[in-house]
Amino acid sequence: MLSESSKTPEDVQQLDPKAISLFYKALKDGKEKVNNIRLMVVGMNGVGKTSLVNNLIWECRYKTHTKQTLSTEGIDIHRCKLMTDGDWCLDKELKEVKYEGRIQKLVCNNQMSKDTHSATASNDKTTNSHVTLYARITSTEDHETQTQTEPLQTFKKRIALEKDDKILQHGIKFAKKMIETSSDNLEKDKALLDESKSEITVSVWDFAGQTLYYSTHQFFLNKRSIYVVVMDMTKSLEDVVSKSDGIGIWCGLVHDCTYLDIFKFWLNAIHMNSDYQSGKRTIKPTIILVGTRKDKMKGSAEEIEKNMNSYFDNALCSFDDNSPIFEHIYRNRFLVNNLSPNDSAFRELQKEIISLAAQQDYWDEEYPVRWIHMEQTLDKMRAEKLQIVKMKDVEEEDLKNVHQLGKKELTLFLELQHKQGNIIFFNSGKLKDFVVLAPQWIIEAFKCFIPHNQKIEATVLKDWEEYKKHAILKPNVLREVMKNSPPYIHEYEDAVIRYMEYLNVIAQPLPNADAITGIPNQHVRVREETSGLYDYNPKMFNCHIVPCLLSRAPSPIDSFTSPDKPRTPVLAFVFCGKFMPPSFFHRLVAVCIRAWPISQERDQYCLFNGLAIFDLNPIYTLRIWYMDYIIYARIVCCSENAKLDNFVLRIQEVRHTLENSLQDFVHQSSPVFDEYIQCPEMKVSLHNKGLFRVKQFNYETEISCPVCSIPHTVKRSDAMQHWFNEMLDQNETDVEIN
Ligand SMILES: Nc1nc2c(ncn2[C@@H]2O[C@H](COP(=O)(O)OP(=O)(O)OP(=O)(O)O)[C@@H](O)[C@H]2O)c(=O)[nH]1
């Protein structure tokens, strides 16, 4: 049992019982409060994010107005610490000194609590039972300790052996000196510790504004971050963002994307990745709105401030009245002129960020002291410019540490580091063989797949062109892509493929028994029943598809979505808050690619940006497409003779696959979309028209259609007979019972 004051990290509470007990065991050896702030600075490109970040960091502040900033590629991360006056500076302090400091602090803290404890003559056995690091350290020098447990002895021996572990030795020496000289003055100790703000660190993440990167950015958003959403005050919300940015091609944002769309995209993406609906948490504000180019705004100081406020008010009013997005927004907004580094707004912003972070649930969470060494090991690897390492190398390093964690505890440590956003580590499949130390590595890996000025061998040119046109990545093209990439990418080709597959950036259209994303079993059956993909589509052998690179479908799009053939009504997944990150559709396409062969129509693969068709068997096809925040699905039978009714079971299975996959993409436990059926009478499927909420048919047997030119009703049986047949049966049973 831990003392009452312990604050178990929320991430730990969600682990399985074995992992939780391992965590508690590790905590018994001493614990420390961890206060790392992840500050994510997001917004459109050129809005002034990098300039703002520079103005927040002491060393970078005076660079901004003398030098033009370069457009950020991927993500730039700056680790900062707080100076005594509250300003931020780059955390360049020698890592060794830093870890020494942490050890010293812990030793002092533990000593103080020990003194306080004995002074109050508490009978609390819990405290005594904690073999603190202090106890362990003092025991190594034959001081009297209250507990001489087996691990303590082991530790003592190890300390003796590890004489060259300078940091620990130095930390112990320094800490002991501190204790000796100030043991008569507890208050002095406390003051010394309070003065040190070094325990608060801020990792500032400067996100590239180009939408090219939007499909990867979302992997890095999480509930443990403070966000600064930056908007350029000189750009009207209705202005259309320049096409040169590639908007609409790379990330699938709506046509004629406006600055308001970009604003909404970020707010929605943050909300979606904040796991607010887990039931236990209420939303706490984490988003600070910042307007740039104050110097270009006209009017008095008061008018400028007013304009900034109405700018953000208007932008926020575009959300629904009861949207949970509002709860994320911090009440204070900031207006800055990035060309004036002395502007007091930057100092105020720094303060607000710290105070906002201090109000979050994760503030002051306690982690095992014995993990400091492993943290240090990872930092050492980073210092050697390693961006990704093999798990076995991390295990080897663990063996060298004074405090070995062992395989299980090491995995737990890495999983929690991942949740905190310090590394990327998935404890599943073959991915558990790698640890990504720098998040930029994922973006670098993703960038390899984006055609730019790569030098391509003449023998591969034709396939390269096909890749650019149809996003089909053949093995020879993949080899070229890898050849053109930096060593830290191509030396980890296996990891690159696996991560990109896991994140659904690329997908292999082949039956894959150990599919990492977990295609439900029924697909294996589907595959067995269809002619094998090798025979059916030999061109795809060993190929990958890169869904975010797909080009738009040729018009008219209705010929794909509403062919004049036997077909189901359209099933629509309507996302709550009127937002769906386009990457969700790409990922759904990736899941389908792994489940079913891609259809061919009009002599081409039916795989486009925003629309894809798959062969469920030789005569039935699944069509999926999306507009804005709605994903549509329809099953079409190519044969006039076949009956859809004979295929009803399979249709239910397809629906389950789509539902489960979409739910899996969202880091939230409660549903983020609602299912609708489009009026079956509608000849051509129209976007967001004639949609009937499936749940409404639980209460109504028919509902009038407000869209079709001839007034009619949609009957429950007609709406649900294909996609929701199982529920229809259930409904009828219920009616009979009643
Ligand atoms: N006048 C004025 N110019 C600014 C301001 N903020 C940024 N700029 C200029 O705008 C240009 C782009 O600024 P950056 O900070 O690189 O913009 P960014 O959002 O980081 O751009 P990406 O990295 O491409 O996403 C630079 O030339 C800056 O000097 C501002 O407040 N006023």
Taking CA atoms, 264 is separated from 254, 417, 585, 588, in Å, by 12, 30, 18, 22
Ligand 1 lined by 338 (C-beta under 6 Å): yes
- What pLDDT is attached to residue 101? 62
Nearest CA to ligand 1 atom 29: 68
The DSSP annotation for 19-83 comes to HHHHHHHHHTT-EEEEEEEEEEEEESTTSSHHHHHHHHBGGGGGGTTTSPPPPP-SEEEEEEEE-
Asked if 326 contacts 317 with a C-beta cutoff of 8 angstroms, the reply is no
With the most atoms of ligand 1 within 8 angstroms of its CB, the residue from 50, 53, 73 to mutate is 50
Task: Pick the closest to residue 176 from 151, 140, 129 (CA basis).
Answer: 140
Asked if 49 contacts 75 with a C-beta cutoff of 8 angstroms, the reply is no
Q: Which atom of ligand 1 is nearest to the CA of 294?
A: 31
Task: Pick the closest to residue 688 from 727, 615, 632, 604 (CA basis).
Answer: 632
Q: Which atom of ligand 1 is nearest to the CA of 68?
A: 27
Asked if 624 contacts 633 with a C-beta cutoff of 8 angstroms, the reply is yes
Backbone angles phi, psi at 164, to 5 degrees: -85, 5
pLDDT higher for 645 or 692? 692
Split at pLDDT 50, 70, 90, the class of 63 is: low
Ligand 1 lined by 231 (C-beta under 6 Å): no
- What pLDDT is attached to residue 144? 32
What is the chain's percent helix, strand, coil content, to nearest 5?
A: 45, 15, 35
Non-local (6+) Cβ contacts of 49 within 8 A are: 41, 42, 43, 72, 206, 207, 209, 230
Task: Pick the closest to residue 586 from 507, 698, 682 (CA basis).
Answer: 507
Distance 378 CA to ligand 1 centre (A): 33
Nearest CA to ligand 1 atom 30: 293
Can you tell me the distance from the alpha carbon of 436 to that of 438, in angstroms, rounded to the nearest whole number?
6
E-assigned strand segments in 550-645? 571-575, 600-601, 604-605, 607-608, 611-615, 620-627, 630-637
pLDDT higher for 128 or 65? 65
Q: Which atom of ligand 1 is nearest to the CA of 45?
A: 25
DSSP SS3 for 545: strand
Distance 347 CA to ligand 1 centre (A): 19
Q: Which atom of ligand 1 is nearest to the CA of 51?
A: 15
Task: Pick the closest to residue 558 from 615, 620, 623, 496 (CA basis).
Answer: 623
Can you tell me the distance from the alpha carbon of 189 to that of 114, in angstroms, rounded to the nearest whole number?
13
Non-local (6+) Cβ contacts of 535 within 8 A are: none
Distance, C-alpha 638 to centroid of its chain? 40
Ligand 1 lined by 337 (C-beta under 6 Å): yes
Ligand 1 lined by 211 (C-beta under 6 Å): no
- Mean pLDDT within 535-547: 65
Ligand 1 lined by 340 (C-beta under 6 Å): no
Nearest CA to ligand 1 atom 27: 68
Asked if 720 contacts 694 with a C-beta cutoff of 8 angstroms, the reply is yes
Nearest CA to ligand 1 atom 16: 69
Count how many residues are written for the chain: 738
Max intra-chain CA distance, the chain: 94
Nearest CA to ligand 1 atom 11: 46
Taking CA atoms, 506 is separated from 212, 480, 498, 551, in Å, by 15, 16, 9, 15
- What pLDDT is attached to residue 353? 96
With the most atoms of ligand 1 within 8 angstroms of its CB, the residue from 49, 60, 67, 69 to mutate is 69
The DSSP annotation for 301-316 comes to HHHHHHHHHHHHHHHH
- Mean pLDDT within 563-571: 94
Distance 46 CA to ligand 1 centre (A): 5
> Exposed (0-12), middle (13-18) or buried (19+): which is 467, by Cβ within 10 Å?
buried
Give me the half-sphere count of Cα atoms (radius 13 Å) on the Cβ side of residue 587. 27
- What pLDDT is attached to residue 646? 80
Nearest CA to ligand 1 atom 9: 48
Distance 52 CA to ligand 1 centre (A): 8
3-state SS string over 332-359? CCEECCCCCCCCHHHHHHHHHHHHHHHC
In which residue are the tokens 């028994």 written?
513
Percent of the chain's residues with pLDDT above 90: 36
Tally of CB atoms within 10 A around 447: 17
Can you tell me the distance from the alpha carbon of 347 to that of 83, in angstroms, rounded to the nearest whole number?
12
Ligand 1 lined by 50 (C-beta under 6 Å): yes
Distance, C-alpha 8 to centroid of its chain? 22
- What pLDDT is attached to residue 633? 98
Task: Pick the closest to residue 566 from 648, 650, 636 (CA basis).
Answer: 636
Non-local (6+) Cβ contacts of 468 within 8 A are: 451, 549
Amino acid at 519: I
Ligand 1 lined by 55 (C-beta under 6 Å): no
End-to-end CA distance of the chain: 52
Asked if 621 contacts 636 with a C-beta cutoff of 8 angstroms, the reply is yes
Q: Which atom of ligand 1 is nearest to the CA of 337?
A: 31
Distance 539 CA to ligand 1 centre (A): 46
Tally of CB atoms within 10 A around 144: 8
Give yes or no for residue 533 having a pLDDT over 60.
Answer: no
Sign of the C-alpha dihedral computed for residues 85, 91, 97 and 100 taken in this order: positive
In which residue are the tokens 């504004």 written?
209
Give yes or no for residue 490 having a pLDDT over 80.
Answer: yes
pLDDT higher for 369 or 211? 369
Q: What angle do CA 169, 173, 175 make, to 5 degrees?
A: 115
pLDDT higher for 530 or 550? 550
Q: Which atom of ligand 1 is nearest to the CA of 70?
A: 16
Please report how the helices 493-502 and 440-448 are oriented relative to each other, as an axis angle in degrees rounded to 10: 90
With the most atoms of ligand 1 within 8 angstroms of its CB, the residue from 338, 340, 342, 343 to mutate is 338
Distance 244 CA to ligand 1 centre (A): 17
Nearest CA to ligand 1 atom 12: 46
- What pLDDT is attached to residue 69? 54
- Mean pLDDT within 393-400: 93
- What pLDDT is attached to residue 636? 95
In which residue are the tokens 């060259």 written?
164
Q: What is the helix (H) or strand (E) element at residue 366, kind and residue range?
A: strand 365-368
Ligand 1 lined by 74 (C-beta under 6 Å): no
Task: Pick the closest to residue 443 from 490, 489, 393, 508 (CA basis).
Answer: 489
Can you tell me the distance from the alpha carbon of 222 to that of 224, in angstroms, rounded to the nearest whole number?
5
> Which pairing describes strands 702-704 and 88-90: parallel, antiparallel, or unpaired?
unpaired
Taking CA atoms, 733 is separated from 269, 460, 727, 729, in Å, by 41, 61, 10, 6
Q: Which atom of ligand 1 is nearest to the CA of 73?
A: 23
* Of the candidate ranges 110-119, 122-131, 500-509, 546-555, the one whose mean pLDDT is the lowest: 122-131
Domains annotated on the chain, with CATH? 32-93+201-358 (3.40.50.300), 96-197 (no CATH), 449-491 (no CATH), 562-737 (3.30.310.50)
Nearest CA to ligand 1 atom 8: 48
Give yes or no for residue 96 having a pLDDT over 80.
Answer: no
Distance 264 CA to ligand 1 centre (A): 21
Give yes or no for residue 70 having a pLDDT over 90.
Answer: no
Q: Which atom of ligand 1 is nearest to the CA of 52?
A: 15
Taking CA atoms, 556 is separated from 206, 322, 552, 559, in Å, by 41, 37, 11, 6
- What pLDDT is attached to residue 188? 41
Can you tell me the distance from the alpha carbon of 648 to that of 547, in angstroms, rounded to the nearest whole number?
29
Distance 210 CA to ligand 1 centre (A): 13
Give yes or no for residue 174 having a pLDDT over 60.
Answer: no
Ligand 1 lined by 51 (C-beta under 6 Å): yes
Split at pLDDT 50, 70, 90, the class of 3 is: very low
Q: What are the CB-based long-range contacts (under 8 Å, 24+) for 10-14?
A: 10/280, 10/281, 10/361, 10/362, 10/365, 11/416, 11/419, 11/420, 12/416
Distance 688 CA to ligand 1 centre (A): 38
Distance 312 CA to ligand 1 centre (A): 19
Ligand 1 lined by 208 (C-beta under 6 Å): yes
Asked if 685 contacts 561 with a C-beta cutoff of 8 angstroms, the reply is yes
With the most atoms of ligand 1 within 8 angstroms of its CB, the residue from 44, 45, 51 to mutate is 51
In 371-401, which positions are buried (b, 16+ CB within 10 angstroms) versus exposed (e)?
Answer: bbbbbbebbebbeeebbbbebeebeebbeeb
The DSSP annotation for 314-327 comes to HHHHTS-TT-THHH
Give yes or no for residue 532 having a pLDDT over 60.
Answer: no
* Of the candidate ranges 255-259, 496-500, 691-695, the one whose mean pLDDT is the lowest: 255-259
Task: Pick the closest to residue 214 from 287, 264, 283, 276 (CA basis).
Answer: 264
| Average confidence score pLDDT of the chain | 78
